[in-house]
Amino acid sequence: MQLGGLERWCPLVVARALTRTEHTTSLLRKLEQEYLSDLSWEKRENANHTVSYSNFRNYLFEKLIKSKDELSQFLPPQAVERHFSGDIHVHKLPDSLWIPYCAGWSYRKILEKGLRTPSIVSAPAKHFDTAVAHLVNFFFMGAQEWTGAQAVSAFDLYTAPFVKADKLSYTQVKQILQGMLFELNYPARSGYQSPFTNITLVADVSSGMLEGDAIVGGVKVGSLSDYVEEALKVDEALFDLYAHGDALGQPFTFPIPTLMLTRNFDWNGRRWGELSDKIFEAVAKKGTVYFLNGYASNVEALYAMCCRLTIDVNHAVLKSKATLSLKLSRVDAEEAYESFLKAREASRAYGIWAMPDATGSIGVVTLNMPRIAYYSKGEWSVFEELLDAALQSARSVLRAWRERYKLSLEAGFMPLTKEYLGHFNYHFGTVGLIGLPEAAANFLRDPFLWVEGSFRRMREALEVEKKMVELVRSRVEEFERLDGTLYNVEEVPGESAGYRLASSDARVLKDACIPSDGSAPFYSNSVVPYYADIPLYQRAQWEGEVQQLFTGGVMMHLFLGEQPDPEALKKLVYRLAVSTKLVYFSITPTITVCHGCGTSMTGYYPTCPKCGGDRVDHWSRIVGYYRPVRNWNPGKKAEFKLRVTY
């Protein structure tokens, strides 16, 4: 790309803003005062951020660019207007103007290539500590090129050959993994935050993944199935560490481990020994894992297919919609694409952050479903018309992003991505849905349905939700056919979107379903709202019915008010896996940490039971990850107060 083209594509918006001397001076002073005085909720837009100069600098950058005039230079003006009016939420602004959202990386490729950066090159890892260090550093560098989550699959299986080659004891494995957990939670990313990371742990539950090549020193050393014993050692060490937490007993927020529950999962420890119990001990104490339910959907097929795609693609670059310059050893580009689509369809939705290799999302635009339903006044034809208008705006942003990210790749903005991925062929444009339960209540014109309604009325709302998701999905599938790129529909976490959109609606909508604790409104990021007093198993049944309709990320959290018995918890998880349609779910106990005496307890305690002090933090999942409630935005704090616990 010539310099002139780059200048036309990327105007120096910050410099232009700063030339408006008089205006900018007053604006900077105003923003500084807002930040220091804690006047803006956007300071806590992301609970992973920590107050610091780095976070303040990010705050200034966002505020200077996130205006209609500036954003309209890059994105379709009509969509920008809809974002500011509250019809949609364009995520990860302003960074999403230049870099994409979330990525699933191939750990195999990292182990084969070593760590190749613009400044220094490391040869492929030959030892366990190096293999782990390469991944940690890869995640930190990747966090500069992607705005959201990063993930790798089969962390345990790919590190296992190094454990065997180094002849490491359990204690040595645990020590190295402890270093990884601490390093990935230090706030060394821009904004004084840690990188958002996920690892999928497979053990021996996926026959397809066990067929993969084991790599040490950049060369093949057998198949992954040859190292299951060492993989189980890695898993056991990880769950011991997760159960303990840091020096204060605070949970390790990242990397979030995802466990695949397939019919090969060893519930009784016949193959895994103590590991089976240690998993549920960690979950009972710290929440720890996400469960990806292979009983309800064929997630194994998607993971295996994506691993093969990664293996077969030597250097994949998307040249145009019509031609893929993919160098495949066994299948051509069209076959690979079709196989990927079939595997995706078989798997249905998968986890929000448990992304298979070489897939992910370029970005997310979320629809304000409660507002659309409110203005439809219960008329389905009106709802369709309003939804289509919002969807077209979302589509226009996703199309613009995809083209911009190709330019970012060419311009050198993403050196790591260019080296280890090289394209966005298998990354989705994601349409997010927020506030589905509130949307159903508004459509039925029954704003108190979820707190005062009968089970029959709630069941009626559930059917409305299904109809809404199916409609969005059908429209998005049409976009896929028309545009020749991948789209999906996600039940978004909505950490900030749920609060921003609900706040916007609370100012203009009368007699609408907008939940609040009296201090701040919010919208739900679930099928059944967490403030609804529904029996646990009924909640899981209903969530599963609608989760199956999504093609992107979904999640159900079961919030616990006290520490459960690990054996009883194991039986509950088994029952949820085999007898509901849940795709992805977590067990989330609240954790209380006393800063007076340094005690950590599972359960919610307003004061420390040990020393009686009130200097306590309460940790829970704000959306999908554990953070202290004091770091949450007002809307999520309100939701926390209203959550039904079991």
Alpha carbons 203 and 326: distance in angstroms, whole number: 31
Q: Measured between alpha carbons, how far apart are the two ends of the chain, in Å?
A: 57
- The predicted pLDDT at position 17 comes to 47
- The predicted pLDDT at position 433 comes to 98
HSE-up of 332 (CA within 13 Å, CB side)?
A: 2
In this prediction, residues 278-307 reach a mean pLDDT of: 83
List, for residues 54-84, the tens digit of each pLDDT value: 888 888 888 888 899 999 999 999 999 999 9
Query: At residue 432, does pLDDT exceed 90?
Result: yes
Per-residue pLDDT band for 479 (boundaries 50, 70, 90) equals very high
> Contact at 8 Å (CB) between 437 and 526?
yes
Query: At residue 154, does pLDDT exceed 90?
Result: yes
Q: Highest mean pLDDT: which of 59-68, 181-190, 212-221, 304-313?
A: 212-221
% of the chain surpassing 70 pLDDT: 86
Tokens representing residue 393 in the block? 């705006």
Per-residue pLDDT band for 37 (boundaries 50, 70, 90) equals confident
- The predicted pLDDT at position 236 comes to 99
For residues 36 and 224, the model is more confident at 224
Per-residue pLDDT band for 136 (boundaries 50, 70, 90) equals very high
Tokens representing residue 574 in the block? 């088994």
Q: SS3 of 508, please? A: coil
| Summary mean pLDDT of the chain | 89
For residues 480 and 323, the model is more confident at 480
Tokens representing residue 193 in the block? 């935050």
Per-residue pLDDT band for 529 (boundaries 50, 70, 90) equals very high
For residues 256 and 56, the model is more confident at 256
- The predicted pLDDT at position 12 comes to 47
Helix (H) / strand (E) containing 148: none
Tokens representing residue 85 in the block? 């009016």
Q: Which ranges of 51-106 would DSSP assign to H, the alpha helix?
A: 53-65, 68-71, 77-85
Q: Which ranges of 145-214 would DSSP assign to H, the alpha helix?
A: 155-166, 170-183, 207-210
- The predicted pLDDT at position 31 comes to 84
Query: At residue 405, does pLDDT exceed 80?
Result: yes
Chain-centroid distance of CA 300 in Å reads 19
> Contact at 8 Å (CB) between 296 and 584?
no
Query: At residue 3, does pLDDT exceed 90?
Result: no
List, for residues 550-607, the tens digit of each pLDDT value: 999 999 999 999 999 999 999 999 999 999 999 999 999 999 999 999 999 999 999 9
In this prediction, residues 289-317 reach a mean pLDDT of: 62
List, for residues 360-385, the tens digit of each pLDDT value: 999 999 999 999 999 999 999 999 99
> Contact at 8 Å (CB) between 199 and 255?
yes
List, for residues 591-642, the tens digit of each pLDDT value: 999 999 999 999 999 999 999 999 999 999 999 999 999 999 999 999 999 9
For residues 251 and 57, the model is more confident at 251
Alpha carbons 416 and 292: distance in angstroms, whole number: 29
List, for residues 90-125, the tens digit of each pLDDT value: 999 999 999 999 999 999 999 999 999 999 999 999
Q: SS3 of 632, please? A: coil
Q: Which ranges of 551-621 would DSSP assign to H, the alpha helix?
A: 566-579
